[in-house]
Chains A and B, each alone.
Chain A
Amino acid sequence: MSMPNSHSHTTANKDTRFNDVHSTGAGGSGRWSTKRIAVYALFVALAMVLSFFSFPIFPAAPWLKYDPSGIVVLVCGFAFGPAAAAIISVLGFVPHLFTNPFGALISMIVALALSVPAALVYRRIHSRKGAVIGIVSGAILGVIAAILCNVVITPFYAHMSMAKVVAMIVPTLLPFNLMKFAIHGVVTFLIYKPISRLINK
């Protein structure tokens, strides 16, 4: 897998990925380029749209639904670094704040736990192997975050004690989340190569 060079956020010329030799220089420094804003906006929009495409994947727990937005935050983290991943993870679930406020917060936390570590690892180890390690470590943290959040949140929706929810971890929460993050990871791994080529064009 040919992976692009790491994107450094620390130097003054932070928008190298979004610039080229034909720049008029009017972009200036110390702010985001319009290219960066546009790419982030479209990735946020994509995460928003995909977060509404939710469907059950685990027959034993039909109320737990899979949505593909996690793929967007992973791809974004690989392509543009952890800061971008964090922005997309948070903004991508803003519309859900108005329908399911706690659910939206959970989604944000889980997306952050998944994408930011994955992006950090991939920035260090910029190879196919790094991508796998990144996805796996992000997925592990994501699963943990998802389960912890679920334990806290479920009593808000259903009249259950936390202990009862904890009892649900092994039979439902864990297998569902493992499935969810496995799909995220595999699809991201499959599509990242062609997409990174498009991004770097």
Chain B
Amino acid sequence: MAASMTQSAVPDSADSTAMVARLSHVSFSYDGGRTWALDNLSMEVHAGEHLCILGANGSGKSTLGSILSGATAPDRGQVELMGRAVCSDTPDQGRQVDAEAYRQVRRSIGMVFQNPEDQIVTTVVQDDVAFGPENLGLPRQRMLSCVPAALKQVDLQTRMNDDPTRMSGGQQQRLALAGSLAMNPSMMVLDEPGAMLDAAGRQEIQSILCRLTAQGTAVVHITHLLEQARQADRVLVLDHGHILAFGRPDEILNRQDLPALVDDISLARRSQPDRNSLTQSRASKTDAKTTVDNHTISMVKFSDVSYRFPDAGRKTLNQVNLELASGQTLAIIGRNGSGKSTLARLICALAVPDSGSIQVAGLPLAGPDRPKAKHQRRQNLRLLRQRVGYVMQYPEHQLFADTVAQDIAYGPRNLGYEPQQVQQRVDETMKLLGIADLADRSPFDLSGGQRRLVAIAGVVACSPQLLVLDEVTASLDPQARARIMTLLRVLHQRGVTIVMSTHADREALNLADQTLLLEHGETLAYGSTADVVERYHQLLATDGTVKEATGKETPRKEAGRTQTDNKPVSLLARLDPRAKLVTFLLAMFTAFAISTPTQLVLALVVTVGLFAAARAPLRSMMNSVKGFLVLMLLLALFNLLVTQTGRRLAVWGPFVLTTGGIWVAVLYACRFMLIIFLGALLVETTTPTQMADACESLLSPLSRLGIHTNEIALVLSLALRFIPTLRREIQAIAEAQAARGGSIESGSLSQRLHAATAITVPVFAGALRHADNLSRALDARCYEGSRQQRTHYRLLQLGRMDILFIALMSLYLLALLLHPLF
């Protein structure tokens, strides 16, 4: 075989045992050879080393990571992973990919990606970690020990039963690491694992990586953050597909001749003790005011504003006060989940506070001055959309039009400008951001940094007096960050008021006249930037030690209910999900057969019994079915009035109340209630993973007909897991487009359709983006569907309790259905 020939031809093959990866003359092109993302590149990864790959966006570092992890094969060159030639390239035979070898070596390689959320496959932490081992076909006994062990390595051992979709980004990323570690890899490839995390989250990942290398796992860490490269054994600097430098960090990172690094190094230097530059910049701003004096107009004013998410336990914002003068810049800092985004949404009237008053751009949005009349409120909102621009977090997710210019024009057009004026604004904004050359390109063909700029242009083109930006530089490389900072400086000079939330980005803070520090929704500090930033660093430092001591963290803000680990598992939750699924569904469908009082009583008794067995939290369940109860009441009323059998009780005009009407109303309402409560109970006591496992098992006979039951069950389980993600994203996109004046509820038909498109296209684009990430995550965990012998972490076994349960439920169903016969 060509592959083994090449391998034996390598002179130092003894060395290759100590190598986990070796690339020789590797080239990779995304466009069929017109341009090369990697060009004739050779490198190797030693067993157990910590290698850091540095490079700007577009340098080819992710492509390199993908080849090293065995996820993709190059166009040219040889790839050797775990000592096996997986891709060979000889002059006479050309490039040859050994699929079987790839399959084998990938089992020893872990991969973690940038987006933490897209790597989660289920809704229970331990099931998620078990997914990889299941795919490897590990015996269940081994999994029972390796899953907790992997969670312990990332300090999540106390969260085994939690729902990962409700965890913070940092915790999710640690979970992704655990999912990889449970597969016991010889090499881990991490592609910018900290890019979407705050400083604390990045630090946690970094310390886990250091521990890993101490255990002998090779770590390839791809990043654009220099600080993370210092702890590596070796550093590889990539630029336009070429290796610029490769060696020990102390040799590389102090070199001044590396263009890819210069920007970042200067940044890294600046992030050293920086009190001076901050105080200087503030001093130059002639006594910047933290309070607004009487002569200036305040652009934003919050008085005692509190906000609580529906169903959330604690307030997201509590008694926040702030006042920002026209033309000033406010920075809001704080960790993930501190309430920064909510504050930004309140300013833009995308949410209404529970208490307190808000005035923005001269318009009362909340409080006693808020107009009572609906049309006046709507008028205010329209004025607000003209005056206030909102750049959401990851604003590139809202792009939708065919061309960049059309997308930027969306806001100005909604504001009702003439076509000529719209064109003028679009041109000016593109020039201001230096993206005029992109005007006719599709926004979806651009790089991440470019798309961010286009999305910002779409907001700036509306010429807002106040610009609100939520983490606008998040996960951008230094070059793109610098351009956004320049833009903000220009807008500031033009007199635009700016509110920006940030994880304490130094560059951004240099622009701020005042800074507000939020922690758990409360103002921890508010005033001059230098002081507030110092307070923030104190907070991070003390919190770091507290966290280590208790192992606890602030939950993500979406977490409506906090889960407790020591929650006793109810009888119903312990039952085999298949038994529950089938019997509950039958009980729900047969509820429509209930037509006599005896049947109704029987059904109610069984349902109450089931609730008792579930020890279900009635209050939270009532909350989740609230909407249906309203519908049920309406239906009951309808039935009450249309049924005119039995004795007449009362007559109001055309409406007649009869005994028959009352009975029908009660009966139909009860049927409806039974169904809803049974369904809610089933969902409450069964995790989506169990549900998917049950479906797979119940559908498995169909696999003989050639139906991919295993895959369909996985599709279902993944879909359930992505519901909260997509729901959040749809809301964010709809809000961002609303802030640009797009509304489905009002306007002409064509305007409404346009608004619908502006929401739908980005929503689909987002779904496809998640799908892309998810498929790579499934590959990284070696999922091969029905082709492999998967094992199961959760054993589905009908026990004595299950049989008893099925018997009892069958009895009930029989009684219900046979009752009319007697």
Contact = CB atoms under 8 A, between A and B. Distances in A.
Given A31-B786, A34-B783, A195-B765, A45 B675 contact: no
Interface in B78-95: 86-87
Contacts, number: 200
A97 B585 contact: yes
Main secondary structure of the interface of A (DSSP, over half): helix
Interface in A5-40: 18, 21-26, 28, 30-35, 37-40
Main secondary structure of the interface of B (DSSP, over half): helix
B761 A41 contact: no
Contact of B639 (A38, A159, A190): A159
Contact of B718 (A28, A37, A53): A37
A124 interface: no
A100 B664 CA distance: 19
Contacts of A24: 70-73, 86-87, 97, 99, 102, 106
Interface string A38-57: 11111111101110010000
Given A42-B774, A45-B726, A187-B757, A160 B718 contact: no
Interface string B225-251: 000000000000000000000000000
B715 A40 contact: yes
Interface in A156-174: 156-160
B685 to A, nearest CB: 12
Given A26-B102, A158-B668, A35 B771 contact: yes
Given A87-B712, A194-B402, A26 B718 contact: no
B775 A34 contact: yes
B609 interface: no
Contacts of B765: 195, 198
Contact of B664 (A30, A94, A159): A159
Interface in A75-121: 75, 87, 91, 94-95, 97-102
B635 interface: yes
Interface in B760-816: 760-761, 763-765, 767-768, 770-772, 774-776, 778-779, 783-787
Contacts of B675: 99-101
A42 B771 contact: yes
Interface residues of A, number: 57
A75 B765 CA distance: 12
Interface string B564-604: 00000000000000000000010011001000000000000
B727 A101 contact: no
B712 A91 contact: yes
A185 to B, nearest CB: 12
Contacts of B767: 42-43, 45-46
B712 A197 contact: no
Contact of A102 (B32, B72, B592, B725): B592
B642 A30 contact: no
Q: Which of B727, B730, B771 is most buried by chain A, counting CB atoms within 10 A of its CB?
A: B771
B210 interface: no
Contacts of A21: 32, 75
A98 B628 CA distance: 12
A71 interface: yes
A191 interface: yes
B786 A195 contact: no
A190 B757 contact: yes
B730 A157 contact: no
B444 interface: yes
A39 B715 CA distance: 9
Contacts of B106: 24, 26
Interface in B634-673: 634-635, 638-639, 642-643, 664, 668, 672
Nearest to B683: A98
A2 to B, nearest CB: 11
B628 A99 contact: yes
A25 B102 contact: yes
A33 B589 CA distance: 36
A7 B258 CA distance: 47
Given A24-B72, A45-B726, A49-B730, A37 B753 contact: no
Contacts of B97: 23-25
Contacts of A48: 719-720, 723
Contacts of B682: 98
A195 B585 contact: no
B526 interface: no
Nearest to B718: A41
Nearest to A153: B592
B400 interface: yes
Given A42-B770, A45-B718, A187 B786 contact: no
Interface string B713-731: 0111011111101110010
Contacts of B726: 42, 45-46, 49
Contacts of B628: 99
B108 to A, nearest CB: 13
B764 A195 contact: yes
Contacts of A197: 442, 444
Interface string A57-72: 0000001000010010
A41 B774 contact: yes
A199 interface: yes
5 contacts: A24-B102, A25-B102, A26-B70, A34-B776, A41-B719
Interface of A: 18, 21-26, 28, 30-35, 37-46, 48-50, 53, 63, 68, 71, 75, 87, 91, 94-95, 97-102, 156-160, 186-187, 190-191, 194-195, 197-199, 201
Q: Pick the 10 closest A-B CB pairs, nearest first.
A: A25-B99, A98-B679, A41-B718, A44-B719, A38-B775, A45-B722, A34-B778, A24-B102, A38-B774, A45-B719
Interface of B: 28, 32, 70-75, 86-87, 97-99, 102-103, 106, 400, 402, 442, 444-445, 585, 588-589, 592, 625, 628, 631, 634-635, 638-639, 642-643, 664, 668, 672, 675-676, 679-680, 682-683, 708, 711-712, 714-716, 718-723, 725-727, 730, 753, 756-757, 760-761, 763-765, 767-768, 770-772, 774-776, 778-779, 783-787
Given A22-B74, A191-B760, 18 more contacts: A22-B73, A24-B97, A24-B102, A26-B784, A28-B784, A35-B775, A37-B718, A37-B778, A37-B785, A39-B775, A41-B771, A45-B721, A46-B764, A95-B723, A98-B683, A101-B679, A195-B765, A197-B442
